Structure formats: C-alpha cells, structure tokens
Amino acid sequence: MKKTKAIVSIIVVTIISMLLPLYVNAHEVEIDPEEYITMPIILAEGVGTIGVDRVEGAYTLSYQAVLVPEDDATEIENTREQVTAELKTLNEQLNALDSERNTLREAMNKAYDEFMALVDSEAEPSEIEAAEAAYKEAETAYNNKSDEYDAKMQEFDSKEEEIIKKVYELTPMYVDENWIETTDGSVKIDITNFSGEKTFVLWAKLETVDGNIYYDEDIYGLEGLAEDTIKVESITLDRTSITMEKGDTYTLNARIEPSNADNKAVNWTSNNENVATVENGKITAVSAGTAIIRVETQDGGYTAECQVTVEEGTTVPKDDTTVPDTKLPQTGEISYIILGIVLTSGIVAIVLYVKNRRMKF
C-alpha cells in the first residue's frame, strides 16, 4: 500500500510539472467531490471540451472563463515552479528511503528464516538465541526506516497541500451571472481581444436533474491573437522644479518613451491646489508656497514630478490719468537769444517793406 502511494505521488509531481493547467482542489465551493466533470487538458486557441461521466438522467453544463490578474498569475506560476522543484526533491528522497527500506526488509526476512530454521532443526539454544537477536535487530532497523519513510511521505503530502492552498488564495471565483450553457461540453474563450499571454480560470458548473450542483476549475495560459501593443516604458518632464510668481502660468512638457507607444494618455495632479493647479500640463500659480505637480501614464502607471515654488512677487501700481503739460520746454539762454533775433529781424523787415511801398506811390 505504501509503495502504491509513492507511485501515485510520483505521478502527481509529473502532472504538476508538465501540464499547462494547474489543478485546484479547494475554493469557496467544493470542487467536484464525485469526479463527474473532466476539464480540458489544454485549450488550443481558446477552444476545448468539458467532459461529464457517470451522471444519471438529464443535466445542465455551463462554463465561464475568469481572467487572473497579472500579478496573481505570476505568483501562481512561481509557486508552481517552486513547489514542483521541492516535490521533485522529496520524491527523490522517498525513492532512496524506499530502496533502503526494501533492502532492510529483505535482511529482516532472511534473518527470520534463519532463526526459524534453527528452531525447527532443534539447534543449540545459544545458536537459536543468537539468531533471534539478529532477527530482532534487523526488524528494528526495518521499522525505523519505515517510520522515516512515513515521515517523508507526510512531508510530501504537506507540500502538495501547500500549493493547493496557495493557488486557492490567488484563484478568482466565478460570477453567477456570467455562466454560458453548453449542450455538448464545447468551450470557447475569446482570445482575439488581447495580445501576449494571459492566464484564465475556466470554471465548470454541472446541475443534475435532482437539483445537485457540482463545480470544477482549471487554470490555463492563453496566447492572444490581437496585434501586440507598444507599451509605455517611462515618462519624464522638461522641468523637475520651477519658481513662479502668483498669477504666473507655465506649461510642462511630458516626454513618453517609447515615442510610438500606443497609449500616451496621462493624468495630471497637484498635491496642493491652494498653491498651484494644473490642467493638461499647464500650471497656474495661486498663492505663495510649494506644491508637487505629478503626471502619471494610464499605461503602466509611470510617474514624473515637478516641484513648484510660488512667490508673492512685487506689483507696481499703474496710474492711467494723463495730465497735460502746459509749460514750455526749458532750452537755456541760447534759445531765448535766437528767438529774440528772429523776432527783431521780422519787425525790421515789415517796417522796410511798408516804407518802400509809400515811396513808390
């Protein structure tokens, strides 16, 4: 029986390490205790078949695929790889202990046969006593090795339960309103709306004619058929700090890498809108103080920041009233002399002109 259990454990390790779907044996609902449901081994391009066996009477079969968040999918895969490696090591130790135990069992059986042979042949009591002691020693060695083997088997079982529990915690549940009924067990998951690999939980629900409901689930990695999108890798600002005066504005320039990223949408925020506000990168200084302007990409959540310092500044009042200046410009004594000469020359010219006209008449 113990040897059979070891063989079964070896098969479990092989299945965990080689098959793409990861079997989960626990959740908020009991997973198919009657083993009526057979989940697909793989989903080729999102297509597969759920099998139902040994169900008497009519039944309804439904399924739904639930996307596993990327971080959880990574943790599930890491857990699977780690525990698979540990199970492989434990299995090797089990095989070594089983081999040692078999050798000790053969030695124990041989010692027992020799002991009984001496008893049957009515050998000397001392010989029988020595043979019996050898048999008891061999039996103790065998029993000790068997206990060691059993302890290692318990360790193996605990490790299997660990991976089941860990994956259970990370596996999303089904949504009641999302069940899709299938009459022939056919499953089809739409993989045309994403690119790259995504992880899905395929849930199956079996409802029998007598009202019993059974659930099963498996985890699958599916490769999307959509064209690859160019992801944002970083974002920077043309300024990491700036000093402004109250009322000033400045527009920050955000640089996204790579420049041909498909989704360049960003969100702007200020951590102190009493000091500075921002809209589409345009900063408006509100009042004296400091504020952090942050920009975050919608794709990837990359961020960059600029520290804004607002100063009160100085304001020179303006007077729009215009007072006419009636004073003549002061040009100095030379200007007055020239003006006097001009006036005098004009008067003389008028007098001579009048006198000349009188003489002609």
Q: What residues have CB less than 8 Å from 164, skipping those under 6 apart?
A: 24, 25, 26
Domain boundaries, given as residue ranges, for the chain: 2-223, 234-311
Question: Does residue 278 register a pLDDT over 60?
Answer: yes
DSSP lists the bridge partners of residue 215 as: 31, 205
Question: Does residue 348 register a pLDDT over 70?
Answer: no
From 24-38, 115-129, 246-260, the region with the lowest mean pLDDT: 24-38
Q: Which span out of 47-51, 68-72, 151-155 was modeled with the highest average pLDDT?
A: 47-51
* Digit-coded pLDDT (tens) for 195-227: 889 999 999 999 999 999 999 999 999 999 988
Please provide the DSSP assignment of 320-344 as one string: -------SPP---HHHHHHHHHHHH
Residue type, 323: V
Question: Does residue 53 register a pLDDT over 90?
Answer: yes
Domain 234-311 has CATH 2.60.40.1080: yes
* Other Cβ atoms closer than 10 A to 230: 13
pTM, full prediction: 0.50
- The percent of residues above 90 in pLDDT, for the chain, comes to 63
Calpha distance 295→283 (Å, rounded)? 12
Calpha distance 202→200 (Å, rounded)? 6
Residue 349 is predicted with a pLDDT of 61
